Amino acid sequence: MEKESMMLPEEIEQAVRTLENPDIADFRSKGGRTIGFFCSYVPEELLNVEGLASFRMRAVDCRGSEIADSYMGVFNCSYTRQCLEKGLEGAYDFLDGFVFVPGCDHLRRLYDNWAHFVKPAFLALVDAPHVRDEDALKWYRDEIECLWEKLAGQFSLPQEREAVWAGIRKTNRTRQLLEELDRRRWQDPPGLSGARMQEISLFAASVPKERANPVLEDLIAHVKTEALTEPYRARVLLVGSHLDDPGFVGVLEETGALVVRDAYCCGLRDQLGLVADVGEERDPFAAIARRYLDRLSCPRMYGDYPRRMERIVRMAEEARVDGIILEQLKFCETWGIDGNVLQNDLKARGFPVLRLEREYLLSGKGQTRTRVQAFLESMGK
Amino acid sequence: MGRISIRQQVREIPLKARNFSSLASLLARIGPVEFIRLYRRFPWLQQAAGIHRLMDHGMNYRNSVAEVIHLIFQYVCGVLEAHVKNPESLVWYEELLTPEIPRAMGFTTFMTESMGLVFPLVDRDGAIPYLDRTENSGFPADMCSFIKASLGMVLARELPKPRLILTTNSPCDSAMAGYLPIEKELGVPIFRLDHPFDTNERSLEYYARGLWKMIDFIERETGRKMDFDRLKEICEERNRASEYLLEFRELLRSRPAPLGGLLLTLSLFGPMLLPGTEAATKLCKHLRDEAKRRVERKVGAVRDERIRVILWNPPFLIDGGLFHWMEESFGAVVVMDMLAYRSYSTIDTSTPDSMIRGLAYDMMKGPMARHTRGPARNYYEDLIRLFREYEADMVLIASHQGCKNALAIAGILREVFRKQEIPFLDIQYDLVDPRITSPEDIRNQVSRFMETVMADRSG
């Protein structure tokens, strides 16, 4: 595919390329505090109340993980090892605290290593449940309230629930705007590429929402009037584990597989679904918990496979994709096992499926291209 | 392996004969046609028949190993009989979910991972066909081989199909996620318990509620009713066994340690496979009695105990003879390990609620559950405590490559051990697959450590 005509503002590209971006620096210079979070089950809304800004943890520009490899195992996923490497280097010193969820074996142990070696001033863990039922909802709700109490104590935040609702509304707005952009992407002809959408998502996850929202509004206005003009060979849905590298999506798209929709961690999967804001007498913590349990789940939510599968099928049908690519980080057991079952079931439903295993740092581009080309050819594209 | 005296061989005849008697009585109950069918349908039964070889791994305490083997025979025969005569009565449970509840409802219970536990102990290559089966079906090579072997058996349709499955998200993601393909392949109802990260009053209450929901699920799916009187009997039997095991564990603190590492590993089989049964209690009593007798006579697992070892992580199943070899070669005796150091709390049987709560507590405090699903501090604090309590000289970390939880805290452990001045050997291997690190290589690593770091003690 030729280079895409739509250019993103430099501000977005900078936020994607670097860890500490000017918007964060500006926010902090005015007294704001920024909190890094590691899993899509961290209730981001609480990290976006007045005076706080959330930052989705990435290991941008990491060149290796030699030190972290000696602390963790080489069979741990490279995302967690690269983040630990960066943490040990002090690359996240611009953040005022960190929130984890024991999302998987690797993240749970990254939390332990973070506490032991990085020793940040503020560290919290939200124990998100692994099942979906009313008890799990109550458990999650209480965990979220507990996080709120810790944040409020540490950062002298107002105790009123209205402060939480304000964070919810701000985050909901970002999600609405991203969903709107996403719809422009999967229309026919598509409004923007998957790599661009990934950059926009990362930007929104890396700067204060006060800054992200107006930029997203401008982008929507721009995309409304333009459609992607470059040729592509097939429309695909990209599904899978943590992926915060537009370069990887770029490799798929250069080969002709246009990612018109996605359901991977750090992509649109995290953004789908809003916290229901039905009135301030409602319990904000329960509302947040329900949103996170009801959205398209990660395979960490065991027992939710049938619902997850149906949501993915629906997304694929809505976007009229030609095929589905499942990507996963190497050593991710949840995606490794779930992905194999998913692949078979999606094929049984008539979707061509390609599974790609990858490392956090973009590597093996040639091999990936070859596999995608073969996949496209197998679809007659 | 040492030589067995004629007298010992004669003494072992009845010990082995009772196992063949268990098989004969199974044959009588199900008839020869079904018996042959079982052998054809489940080819691993032929492999399991070699289980008496386990006794050769515990040369200094062969009689005690024989007791464990007998329990395994009873367990397998019970499961096979249920499969033939009343397949609707068979329930599978995941390794960290104790099966007292379905047993109180009249079900025969089968631990999904149990054959993965036994195969490599009997024959180091025993699980390989099943591991390959799973990998060749597209599942990750790096997932925990313990569940990988079980999944392979399911994919090969070589396990007796259950009426339903009960599982948890402990001890790891492999075990948690591995039950999805098992569920899909078997097409039976499954109940999933949610184990929280930490163990405290609130999480215990949450987990216990999960057990109540599990009871509702079983009742709904099968129409059978929970029998709390029967559960009380089972829990009381279990409490008796726990008393013996606690005493057994305490006796292992003696110098010299009366029994060695293999027995520690095997002591788990009672509580894991047949908890709350007379067979398990009998085994636990035997272990206590044998340890007590040896302590009184000052007989150790080895004649000259020089090094006391704490083994952490699941033991080296692919080399059942490792412990005996360490004992004989270096006078090194494993005096406690992670799995044997499980919670054996007394369950309060006064009310249904207290029993469910007691079972929940035991599961949450169980080995691996609290160590790998829980925070890292549980992992190393227990280890340090045991190191002191058992007056150990070194720690042997069995770094199973499928256990991402344990691998990921290598740096923390290193720092903790150095601060505490604890010598430790960390061996990377696979619990079930000898192709990753061969038993020979494991022994080489142990030798080098003993001959250098522990040279002043290993002789």
Partners of A139 on chain B (C-beta within 8 Å) are 196, 206
Specify whether the CB–CB gap between A150 and B219 falls below 8 A: no
B367: confidence class by pLDDT, cuts 50, 70, 90: confident
CA A376 to chain B, closest CA, distance in angstroms equals 21
The total of other beta-carbon atoms located within 10 Å of residue A40's CB is: 25
Residue A5 clears pLDDT 60, i.e. is over it: no
B376-410: b (≥16 Cβ within 10 Å) or e: bebbbebbbebbeebebbbbbbbbbbbbbbbbbbb
pLDDT tens digits, one per residue of A226-255: 777 778 999 999 999 999 999 999 999 999
In a domain, A296, yes or no: no
Q: What is the pLDDT of residue B58?
A: 72
Partners of B192 on chain A (C-beta within 8 Å) are 130-131, 302-303
Residue B48 clears pLDDT 90, i.e. is over it: no
The verdict on a CB contact (< 8 Å) between B177 and A331 is: no
Residue A179 clears pLDDT 80, i.e. is over it: yes
The verdict on a CB contact (< 8 Å) between B142 and A336 is: yes
- Cα B193 from Cα A85, distance rounded (Å): 35
The verdict on a CB contact (< 8 Å) between A133 and B213 is: yes
Specify whether the CB–CB gap between B20 and B14 falls below 8 A: no
In a domain, A223, yes or no: no
The sheet that has A52-56: what strands, in order across it?
A52-56, A33-37, A97-100, A123-125
Q: What is the pLDDT of residue B366?
A: 84
Nearest by CB: A72 against B137, B181, B410: B410
Strands A323-329 and A257-264: unpaired
CA B196 to chain A, closest CA, distance in angstroms equals 7
CA A378 to chain B, closest CA, distance in angstroms equals 20
Number of domains in chain A: 1
Residue A2 clears pLDDT 50, i.e. is over it: no
Q: Which of A228, A204, A229, A227 is nearest to A217 (CA)?
A: A204
Q: Of A88, A108, A308, which to mutate for an interface test with B (greatest number of B Cβ within 10 Å)?
A: A108
The verdict on a CB contact (< 8 Å) between B184 and A341 is: yes
- DSSP string of A218-275, one letter each residue: HHHHHHHH----S--SEEEEEEES----HHHHHHHHHTTEEEEEEEETTTGGGTSS--
In a domain, A29, yes or no: yes
In a domain, A330, yes or no: no
The verdict on a CB contact (< 8 Å) between B196 and A127 is: yes
Q: What angle do CA B426, B271, B64 make, to 5 degrees?
A: 80
Specify the DSSP element, H or E, that contains A201: helix A194-206
Nearest by CB: B206 against A108, A135, A300: A135
Q: Which of A245, A293, A236, A243 is nearest to A265 (CA)?
A: A243
Partners of A298 on chain B (C-beta within 8 Å) are none
What is the average pLDDT across A44-50?
97
Q: Which of B287, B397, B298, B275 is nearest to B58 (CA)?
A: B287
Angle in degrees, 0-180, between the axes of helices B32-41 and B62-85, rounded to the nearest 10: 110
Using the Cα atoms of residue A122, residue A123, residue A129 and residue A135 in order, give the sign of their dihedral: negative
In a domain, A138, yes or no: yes
**Residue A326, beta-bridge partner list:** A239, A355
pLDDT tens digits, one per residue of B422-449: 999 999 999 999 999 999 999 999 999 9
The sheet that has A257-264: what strands, in order across it?
A257-264, A234-240, A323-329, A353-358
Model ipTM?
Answer: 0.94
CA A333 to chain B, closest CA, distance in angstroms equals 6
Q: Give percent of chain B above pLDDT 90.
A: 79
Q: What is the pLDDT of residue B295?
A: 97
Partners of B137 on chain A (C-beta within 8 Å) are 340
Q: Of A74, A242, A337, which to mutate for an interface test with B (greatest number of B Cβ within 10 Å)?
A: A337
Comparing alpha-carbon positions, the chain A residue that sits nearest to B199 is A127
Q: Enumerate residues 6+ apart whose C-beta is below 8 A from A96.
A: A28, A33, A34, A35, A121, A122, A155
Residue A1 clears pLDDT 60, i.e. is over it: no
Q: What is the pLDDT of residue A279?
A: 59
The verdict on a CB contact (< 8 Å) between A112 and B411 is: no
Nearest by CB: A75 against B192, B203, B407: B407
Q: What is the pLDDT of residue A3?
A: 46
The verdict on a CB contact (< 8 Å) between A125 and B197 is: yes
Q: What is the DSSP letter of B369?
A: I
Q: Rounded mean pLDDT of chain A?
A: 94
What is the average pLDDT across A216-229?
83
pLDDT tens digits, one per residue of B298-333: 999 998 999 999 999 988 999 989 999 999 999 999
- Cα A216 from Cα A207, distance rounded (Å): 12
The verdict on a CB contact (< 8 Å) between B169 and A109 is: no
In a domain, A16, yes or no: yes
In a domain, A339, yes or no: no
Q: Of A78, A80, A105, which to mutate for an interface test with B (greatest number of B Cβ within 10 Å)?
A: A105
CA B9 to chain A, closest CA, distance in angstroms equals 46
Across the A:B interface, residue pairs with CB atoms under 8 Å apart total 136
Nearest by CB: A340 against B139, B194, B402: B139
- Cα B82 from Cα B99, distance rounded (Å): 16
Specify whether the CB–CB gap between B279 and B74 falls below 8 A: yes
pLDDT tens digits, one per residue of B76-93: 999 999 999 999 999 999
The verdict on a CB contact (< 8 Å) between B404 and A109 is: yes
- Cα B278 from Cα B263, distance rounded (Å): 19
The verdict on a CB contact (< 8 Å) between A113 and B412 is: yes
Q: Which of B114, B115, B144, B149 is nearest to B132 (CA)?
A: B149
SS3 sequence of B47-62: HHHHHHHHHHHCHHHH
Distances from the Cα of A240 to the Cα of A268, A338, B243, angstroms: 11, 10, 48
Q: What is the pLDDT of residue A281?
A: 61
- DSSP string of A85-153, one letter each residue: HHHHHTTTTT-SEEEE---SHHHHHHHHHIIIII--S-EEE----SS-SHHHHHHHHHHHHHHHHHHHH
What is the average pLDDT across A7-16?
89
Partners of A337 on chain B (C-beta within 8 Å) are 139-140, 143, 174, 177-178, 180-181
What is the average pLDDT across B377-389?
94
The verdict on a CB contact (< 8 Å) between A116 and B404 is: no
Residue B180 clears pLDDT 60, i.e. is over it: yes
Q: What is the pLDDT of residue B341?
A: 84
CA B175 to chain A, closest CA, distance in angstroms equals 9
Domain containing residue A121: 10-162
Specify whether the CB–CB gap between A14 and A22 falls below 8 A: yes
What is the average pLDDT across B113-137?
93
Comparing alpha-carbon positions, the chain B residue that sits nearest to A112 is B376
Q: Rounded mean pLDDT of chain B?
A: 93
A128 torsion bin: left (phi>0), alpha (psi -120 to 50), beta (else): beta
Partners of A71 on chain B (C-beta within 8 Å) are 410-412
The verdict on a CB contact (< 8 Å) between A105 and B180 is: no
Domain containing residue A60: CATH number: 3.40.50.11890
The verdict on a CB contact (< 8 Å) between B177 and A71 is: no
Three-state DSSP class for residue A75: coil
Specify whether the CB–CB gap between B86 and B160 falls below 8 A: no
- Cα B153 from Cα B432, distance rounded (Å): 14
Comparing alpha-carbon positions, the chain A residue that sits nearest to B209 is A135
- Cα B434 from Cα B448, distance rounded (Å): 20
The verdict on a CB contact (< 8 Å) between B177 and A299 is: yes
Distances from the Cα of B93 to the Cα of A80, A133, A256, angstroms: 32, 21, 47
Distances from the Cα of B92 to the Cα of B177, B179, B190, B274, B370, angstroms: 16, 11, 9, 13, 22
CA A59 to chain B, closest CA, distance in angstroms equals 18
The verdict on a CB contact (< 8 Å) between B143 and A110 is: no
Partners of A104 on chain B (C-beta within 8 Å) are 173
The verdict on a CB contact (< 8 Å) between A135 and B210 is: yes
In a domain, A334, yes or no: no
pLDDT tens digits, one per residue of B253-301: 999 999 988 888 888 899 899 999 999 999 999 999 999 999 999 999 9
- Cα B340 from Cα B334, distance rounded (Å): 11
Q: What is the pLDDT of residue A95?
A: 98
In the chain, the amino acid numbered B324 is H
